[in-house]
Amino acid sequence: MDMEQAINKAKEQFAAALTHLKSEFSKLQIGRAHAGLVEGIMVEMYGAVQPLKAIANIAIPEPKTIMIQPWDRGGLHAIEKAITDSGLGLNPINNGVAIIINMPPMTEERRADVAKIVKTLAEEARIVIRTSRQDAHTAFKQMKDANQMTEDDVFGAEKRLQVLVDSANNDIDSAAKSKEQDIMTI
């Protein structure tokens, strides 16, 4: 591995951390209906556990309503059970054709709880960034010890890497701040 490969690997890990963070943010319930809230719920059907989006059509007929229509009506009960057991605090209604979920209004206490979750997720992303940076630093040190890099090369590489780290952390902070504003807006 050379210096560019180490930096590019770190850059890819930074991007993956931000993508994962945004994915996790989309799953948070903030009072508005969106398919991302339920599409990843794992449902046991046909003797296998699979994500809800693989066995049903998810639609948003109204801003506060999610409608889940399975391709096989025999799966309604399994989907209803999976949603109830998911811990999202959603109350599914089975009308025999589809599952209807009316989004509960966000209380001030629930908003504060979700804001804490946002901060926790953002910190987890920062930890990934720090770990990736440390891996790159280790690679630089190994290259220096193997006489593949000079002290000046290591210094320059670390400086370039720190610019990328700062940028990734700023992206995480702005994503978290944006999500917190969404949550706290009534």
14 burial type by CB count under 10 A (0-12 exposed, 13-18 middle, 19+ buried): buried
Look at residue 156 in the predicted model and tell me its pLDDT.
Answer: 92
* Cα–Cα distance, 15 to 142 (Å, whole number): 24
**CB contact set of 69 (below 8 Å; sequence gap of 6+):** 56, 57, 59, 97, 98, 99
Q: How much is the pLDDT for 186? A: 60
Predicted TM-score of the model (pTM): 0.71
Site of tokens 């398919």:
35
When computed from its CA atoms, the radius of gyration of the chain, rounded to whole angstroms, is 22
What pLDDT, on a 0 to 100 scale, did the predictor assign at position 99? 92
Domain chopping of the chain, boundaries = 3-26+107-184, 35-102
Mean pLDDT, range 11-30, rounded to an integer: 86
Query: Which residue did the predictor score with more confidence, 120 or 103?
Result: 120
Q: What is the structure's pLDDT at 29?
A: 65
Please provide the distance, in angstroms rounded to a whole number, between the alpha carbons at the two ends of the chain: 51
In this model, does residue 13 exceed pLDDT 90?
yes
pLDDT in tens, 80-100: 999 988 877 788 999 989 999
Give the whole-number percent of the chain exceeding pLDDT 70.
98
The mean pLDDT of 127-144, rounded to a whole number, is 93
What CATH code is assigned to 3-26+107-184? 1.10.132.20
- Per-residue b/e over 49-85, b at no fewer than 16 CB within 10 Å? eeebbebbebeeeeeeebbbebeeeebbebbbebbee
Q: Tokens representing 111?
A: 């908003």
> What is the pLDDT at residue 37?
81
77 and 94 in contact (C-beta within 8 Å)?
yes
Q: What is the mean predicted confidence (pLDDT) over 157-165?
A: 94
Looking at per-residue confidence, does 148 or 46 come out higher? 148
Domain 35-102 has CATH 3.30.1360.40: yes
Percent of the chain residues topping a pLDDT of 90: 51
pLDDT confidence band for 104 (50 / 70 / 90): confident
Strands (E), 1-85: 42-45, 48-51, 56-62, 65-70
pLDDT of residue 125: 95
- pLDDT digit string, tens, across residues 163-182: 999 999 999 999 999 988 88
